[in-house]
């Protein structure tokens, strides 16, 4: 088990090899730790003058509500992810965040975040890099819903979750713990609960993956990647581009 702050460090150092001074600026940011239960709303759409949060433990969903009460899940946030950072610049949150599991979040004021960025510009660049990666994932999710078949988009999304979790030291190429219900997964993929159930059954019958008992098991990772046409380049997890040394490291799914 890795510490809560270590998930943030692992994610940011994937983009920029932060030095000890920059890491100290990050780890000593004044913050208030908050523990929340499933279903608790962390930030609501339209909220103004709120602080940002770093998710230390647990899973969170980000979503928008439509006028008729229906919901579209945008993404799921994992340990090490920032919540509401963009809204500090836009002033108003354009979507909501809700705890899926028991979560621990670190609440950080805009003042302290901007002071840290001024003190450590490379730390600011790392956070910007992480935010850009999150935007790249949203682009893939749009392609999922707009162009990929139900089975392809489901396989692609579950592979993406696995890659994101392994970056922070959770799960392996054999699978990962996943607290999502079929209803949440269906919401994220633009499918009905009945349809996602059928798709998961197809993936199981093709001996590609099994999703049950809150765990995703990969049975044939190579064929699953081929089915989903899963290319990891958009996740940009091959190692830091801005390095402290000339040594280079690469990782693959």
80-117 confidence digits (pLDDT tens) = 999 987 766 666 777 889 999 999 999 999 899 999 99
Residues in the chain: 253
Q: Give span(s): CATH 1.10.10.10, the chain.
A: 139-235
> Which CATH entry fits the domain spanning 4-120: 2.40.50.140, 3.40.50.300, 3.10.690.10, 2.60.120.10?
2.60.120.10
Region 216-220: mean pLDDT is: 98
Q: Give span(s): CATH 2.60.120.10, the chain.
A: 4-120
- The SS3 call for residue 157 is helix
Output the pLDDT for position 3: 52
What band does 246 get if pLDDT is binned at 50, 70 and 90? very low
Looking at per-residue pLDDT, the higher value among 45 and 59 belongs to 59
Region 159-179: mean pLDDT is: 96
Looking at per-residue pLDDT, the higher value among 49 and 53 belongs to 53
Output the pLDDT for position 253: 66
**pTM, to two decimals:** 0.90
- Rounded distance between C-alpha atoms, residue 251 and residue 245, angstroms: 18
> Which CATH entry fits the domain spanning 139-235: 3.30.1490.190, 1.10.10.10, 3.40.50.1970, 3.40.50.9100?
1.10.10.10
Region 19-34: mean pLDDT is: 93
What band does 251 get if pLDDT is binned at 50, 70 and 90? very low
Looking at per-residue pLDDT, the higher value among 172 and 238 belongs to 172
- Rounded distance between C-alpha atoms, residue 59 and residue 188, angstroms: 14
Q: Provide φ and ψ at 152, rounded to 5°.
A: -70, -45
- The SS3 call for residue 117 is helix
- Rounded distance between C-alpha atoms, residue 141 and residue 174, angstroms: 23
Output the pLDDT for position 12: 92
């Amino acid at each position: 088990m890795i510490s809560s702050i270590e998930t943030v460090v692992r994610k940011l150092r994937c983009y920029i090899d932060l030095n000890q001074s920059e890491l100290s600026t990050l780890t000593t940011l004044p913050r208030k730790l908050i523990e929340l239960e499933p279903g608790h709303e962390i930030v609501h759409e339209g909220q103004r003058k709120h602080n940002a949060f770093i998710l230390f433990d647990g899973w969170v969903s980000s979503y928008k509500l439509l006028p008729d009460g229906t919901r579209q899940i945008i993404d799921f946030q994992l340990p090490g992810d920032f919540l509401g950072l963009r809204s500090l610049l836009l002033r108003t949150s354009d979507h909501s965040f809700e705890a899926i599991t028991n979560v621990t979040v670190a609440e950080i004021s805009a003042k302290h975040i901007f002071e840290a960025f001024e003190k450590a510009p490379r730390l600011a660049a790392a956070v910007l890099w992480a935010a850009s990666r999150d935007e790249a994932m949203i682009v893939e999710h749009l392609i999922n819903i707009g162009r990929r078949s139900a089975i392809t988009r489901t396989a692609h999304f579950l592979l993406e979750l696995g890659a994101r979790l392994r970056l922070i030291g959770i799960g392996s190429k054999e699978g990962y713990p996943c607290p999502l219900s079929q209803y949440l997964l269906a919401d994220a993929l633009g499918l009905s609960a009945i349809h996602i159930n059928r798709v998961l059954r197809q993936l199981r019958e093709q001996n590609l993956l099994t999703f049950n008992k809150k765990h995703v098991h990969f049975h044939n990772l190579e064929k699953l990647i081929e089915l989903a046409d899963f290319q990891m380049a958009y996740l940009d997890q091959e190692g830091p581009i801005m390095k402290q040394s000339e040594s280079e490291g690469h990782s693959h799914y």
